[in-house]
Structure 1
Amino acid sequence: MPTIDTILFDLDGTLINTNDLIIESFLQTLEHFRPGEYNREKVIEFIGPPLADSFRSVDPDRVDEMITHYREFNHRMHDELVTEYVGVYATIERLYKQGYKLAIVTTKIRKTAMMGLQLMKLDQFFDIVIGLDDVEHAKPHPEPLEKALEQLGSEKKSAIMVGDSHSDILSGKNLGIPTVAVAWSIKGIDKVRSFGADYIIDEMADLLPIVGADHT
């Protein structure tokens, strides 16, 4: 593999544990609009794609209403329900100090993404955050990744994509760069294996040797 100097990260479920927040936001919203129709298992399938895509499958005529409701609950409960993944902060700090160029590529809007980064004190390591409102086409389209590389001044031949969902891995494949899937995805390891990523890591520190970072 060519030398890697640029690492593109998904945010939710990859760097920060927003699973409970997202699930509760979906459950609360769907119970309001479609009482009794959705449970935890069903809404886990909504994690990853943009909100509009998920809610369009529920009721295409009320997508905007549902997004507004979801975001109000999500922002209000954000700091209470978001937690950290062990080892993420230390690994990202190490990559940053070793000079790797780092970016966030998320299907969240930028405002919400920054809330999570700031809460976990990861914002200091990421000058580039590409949110849903920064692009015309969300992941798995390669546009968000291309925009991140452009803003970082990087080439795709030296980049790698890290994420927890199929859309993360597919976006990397669509761009033609190596991909890393995280085994701690809420969707489960069997689902993660089905994504076809080039690498699967059990903890964030496992990324260090993959990109050639000093991990001693």
Structure 2
Amino acid sequence: MEDNITTVLFDLDGTLVDTYELILTSFRHTFDHYVPGRFTKEDCISFIGPPLTETFASILPEKTEEMVQFYRNFNKQHHDTLIKPFAGVYDTVKTLHERGYKLAIVSTKMKDMVIKGLEATDLHPFFPVIIALDDVKYAKPDPEPIFKALELLRSDVQEAVMVGDSNHDILAAKNAGTRSVGVSWSIKGKDYLQRFSPDYMINHMGDLLKIVGVEANAKNDQV
């Protein structure tokens, strides 16, 4: 347990909200259009985490922006039917909010889609600060998004923790000097995340309450 944590930064996709099916379907739809037969659904797992421009530039540099837009159009169209919050997320975030913790989203998605995801899962009211891809020059694992969130929350790195499902989240936390929490439900696997040495690994979002010092509510409802 850490008694001095006042601030919790969350990644969105794969951490708070189960968007894996949406993301993988969006990648497959895009790749089937531009490079048919080149990638399987399983291949697309490795593309989760980095910004879309980075992924598509590595495949068809001359079509990067076109592919990004193609992906986003499909993703937005199917968004609300293919996402859901992970177990315990709503109750845990609500508890942190009620206990006065400073909360923010730090994501590599564009802000309009971050807000769309938060609204679809009723989490939007809990996050006064959202740092998305279009808010920064450098995305995670660069520390810029974390620094920007902490500045808006008026928090210091020593009192913050970053929660995420990707190596980009863990490395961003290390680069910024905050503590990090990996989530075992990452599609890349718990063992994969452990390679990047997060300070904590949780098996249920409710476990986060004990880490940040909300002892009385450590056993969250298994939603």
TM-score, structure 2 length as denominator? 0.95
SS at structure 2 position matched to 1:45: helix
Tell me what 1:200 maps to.
Answer: 201
Task: Say whether residues 1:26 and 2:27 are aligned partners.
Answer: yes
Distance in 2 (CA, whole Å) between partners of 1:128 and 1:140 is 19
Q: By how many angstroms is 1:24 displaced?
A: 0.3
Sequence identity, in percent?
Answer: 49
Distance in 1 (CA, whole Å) between partners of 2:36 and 2:30 is 9
Q: By how many angstroms is 1:43 displaced?
A: 0.5
**Conserved? CA contact 1:2–1:158, under 8 Å:** no
Tell me what 1:54 maps to.
Answer: 55
Q: Deviations over 1:117-159 (max 9, x none)?
A: 0000000100100000000000000000000000011111111
Distance in 1 (CA, whole Å) between partners of 2:179 and 2:116 is 28
Distance in 2 (CA, whole Å) between partners of 1:201 and 1:174 is 21
Tell me what 1:112 maps to.
Answer: 113
Aligned residues: 216
Task: Say whether residues 1:45 and 2:46 are aligned partners.
Answer: yes
Tell me what 1:3 maps to.
Answer: 4
Q: Deviations over 1:29-78 (max 9, x none)?
A: 00000001000111100000000011011111100000010000000000
| Structure 1 portions without partners, runs of 5+ | none
Tell me what 1:153 maps to.
Answer: 154
**Conserved? CA contact 2:3–2:212, under 8 Å:** no
**Conserved? CA contact 1:2–1:157, under 8 Å:** no
Q: Map 1:118-197 onto structure 2 (within 5 A).
A: 118-197=119-198
Distance in 1 (CA, whole Å) between partners of 2:197 and 2:157 is 19
Distance in 1 (CA, whole Å) between partners of 2:14 and 2:59 is 23
The amino acid of 1:62's aligned partner reads K
**Conserved? CA contact 1:17–1:83, under 8 Å:** yes
SS at structure 2 position matched to 1:181: strand
Q: Over the residues paired in the alignment, what is the CA RMSD in angstroms?
A: 0.9
Q: By how many angstroms is 1:164 displaced?
A: 0.3
**Conserved? CA contact 1:130–1:148, under 8 Å:** yes
SS at structure 2 position matched to 1:215: helix
Task: Say whether residues 1:86 and 2:87 are aligned partners.
Answer: yes
SS at structure 2 position matched to 1:99: coil
| Structure 2 portions without partners, runs of 5+ | 218-223
**Conserved? CA contact 1:160–1:177, under 8 Å:** yes
Q: By how many angstroms is 1:214 displaced?
A: 3.6
Q: By how many angstroms is 1:2 displaced?
A: 5.9
